[in-house]
Amino acid sequence: TVERPNDDGYYRSLHGLTRSLIANMVEGVTKGFTKTLEINGVGYRAAMQGKKLVLTIGYSHPVEFDARPGIEFEVPAPNRIIVKGADKQQVGQTAAEIRGVRPPEPYKGKGI
């Protein structure tokens, strides 16, 4: 359990933050966290080469991503990427970096 010294607003906010961080750590170790990314576009696809994620998304070269420690990639289909890990923040950050390579464009929706 997490306790606070008194009911000041500052300590109440730190109490909630600490409690939620610990709860996320426990959930990450027991269940794990996943983020699923979908690729839309003609000729856009993802593939695994060893532990690297290789994206072919309309650039003149393929874009490669190395998995951070504690992060795993899965490519069940050429247009779907699954990012898995125990740390919620790392999973979200990695998924955001992958999406940042080619965000969906507003008119046709091509991108990740």
Stated pTM of the model = 0.88
Q: In what order do the strands lie in the sheet with 80-85?
A: 33-38, 80-85, 71-77
| Whole-number pLDDT of residue 1 | 78
Domain residue ranges of the chain, discontinuous segments joined by + = 1-31, 32-112
pLDDT-based confidence at residue 78 (cuts at 50, 70, 90): very high
| Whole-number pLDDT of residue 27 | 95
CB-CB contact of 52 with 68 (8 Å): no
| Whole-number pLDDT of residue 98 | 96
Q: What is the rounded CA–CA span in Å between residue 59 and residue 37? A: 19
| Whole-number pLDDT of residue 66 | 93
CB-CB contact of 22 with 2 (8 Å): yes
| Whole-number pLDDT of residue 91 | 96
CATH topology of domain 32-112: Outer Surface Protein A; domain 3 (3.90.930)
Q: What is the rounded CA–CA span in Å between residue 111 and residue 99? A: 8
Mean pLDDT along residues 93-109: 94
Residue 101's region, left for phi above 0, alpha for psi from -120 to 50, else beta, is alpha
CB-CB contact of 68 with 94 (8 Å): yes
